[in-house]
Homo-oligomer: A and B are copies of this chain.
Amino acid sequence: MSEVYAARRTRLREYCNAGGSAAALVSRPANVRYLAGAAPHGAVLLLGKTEDLLLCPGSSADRPTQERPDEALRVQTLPGPGGGDPAVAAAGIADGQGADSLAVEEHHLTVARHKALGSVAPRLRLANLGSAVEQLRVVKDEEEISCLRIGAEIADQALGELLESILVGRTERHLALELERRLVDHGADGPAFPTAVGTGPNAGRPGHRPTDRRVEEGDFLSVCLGATYRGYRCEIGRTFVIGTAPADWQIELYDLVFAAQRAGRESLVPGAACRDVDRSARQVLDSAGYTEGLTALTGHGVGLEIDEDPQLSPAAMGKLDACVPVTVEPGVHLPGRGGVRIDDTLVVRPEADGGPELLTITTKELLAL
């Protein structure tokens, strides 16, 4: 693995040098982890003029991480508690190495930290690294995709087991907690995000947090969960009907969202514009008259964070590449009645390789439980 991290750092270094900076300071935790193999709490990565260095605060020993940093990388822990901000120490080191410019993550560093960097190394020009590391992270290697695939299997297992149990009478909160327990049982580091469970009028509601409402006969039941595996986060969402016979409106709504989600999935090809993928899914709902209350996105990238680039939205710029994992998750919610959301994680693949690879394989038939 060490070569992988070294190669990522080389790519970033080339990007920085091309922009006129001999050194870069990476502070956003997911970016630190991507480049260093681990992100101890509060650690920053200095791509220095003469050496790369992972700088950890003295307090990071209080919060050990499961991951080990790349062995090829020198790790320096600041002395004791109150040893100061590793970002400030990094600026001092960059200055001492003779760098005249340091590119920093202006979208992550606070104004206060930025000022402290300027104070400790006034000769150093602070440039903006922008979201260069986030852009490197968009296309995944097969090792990363393998972590997502295992996470998706874990989420499928947790969901499958829940569906075999008795659901009527249990609360949304209980179901969510049980799903999270099962994720961990099956080997997840933890949930990828807070598990969402909605019943009846809450089903399919964007951003719904589990309540004490109990599952009733005739309800829609929507769940959205994901596993974190070796830091990689995936997502699956399904909607079910409780009882033996779904109502006509439930079947119609389900079929519509299913059609929208399928249209989104089928448009995932290398080179497709992100806004066109969004439109494929969205126009199915639009043309059935559901224009109100749709969410801003019909999907998004996943990886070390659950919400990464690219965004699948009407205003999105850019195109999809092969080996980009994204969610496709359109939904409709009818206030007071409930709704449907269907959410998969897939990897964009060329048609010659079989087209989009579906990671979350739980059935999307309308199950009556």
Contacts and interface: CB of A to CB of B under 8 A. Distances in A.
Contacts of A66: 209
Counting every copy of the chain, the complex holds 2
A309 to B, nearest CB: 15
B82 A207 contact: no
Interface in A256-307: 295-297
Interface residues of A, number: 36
A364 interface: no
Contacts of A297: 81
B207 A63 contact: yes
Given A207-B64, A296-B82, A107 B110 contact: yes
A343 interface: no
Contacts of A62: 206-207, 295-296
Nearest to A293: B61
Q: Which residue of A104, A110, A206, A313 has the most chain B CB atoms within 10 A of its CB atom?
A: A110
A296 B64 contact: no
Nearest to A126: B111
Q: Which residue of A61, A107, A296 has the most chain B CB atoms within 10 A of its CB atom?
A: A296
A337 interface: no
A181 interface: yes
A208 interface: yes
A315 interface: yes
A106 interface: yes
A111 B110 CA distance: 6
Contacts of A207: 61-64
A184 interface: yes
A74 interface: no
A329 to B, nearest CB: 12
A163 B313 CA distance: 50
Nearest to A315: B82
Interface string A90-117: 0000000000000010111111101100
A177 interface: yes
A289 to B, nearest CB: 19
Nearest to A183: B177
A177 B173 contact: no
Contact of A208 (B64, B80, B110, B181): B64
Contacts of A112: 106-107, 128
Contacts of A315: 81-82
A109 B82 CA distance: 23
Q: Which residue of A80, A111, A295 has the most chain B CB atoms within 10 A of its CB atom?
A: A111
Interface of A: 58-59, 61-64, 66, 80-82, 104, 106-112, 114-115, 128, 173-174, 177, 180-181, 184, 206-209, 295-297, 313, 315
28 contacts: A58-B296, A61-B206, A61-B207, A62-B206, A62-B295, A63-B206, A64-B207, A66-B209, A81-B295, A81-B297, A81-B313, A81-B315, A82-B296, A82-B313, A106-B110, A106-B115, A107-B111, A107-B112, A108-B110, A110-B110, A110-B111, A111-B111, A111-B128, A173-B184, A177-B177, A177-B181, A177-B184, A181-B181
Closest 10 CB pairs of A and B: A81-B296, A63-B207, A106-B111, A107-B112, A62-B207, A106-B112, A62-B206, A177-B181, A111-B114, A82-B315
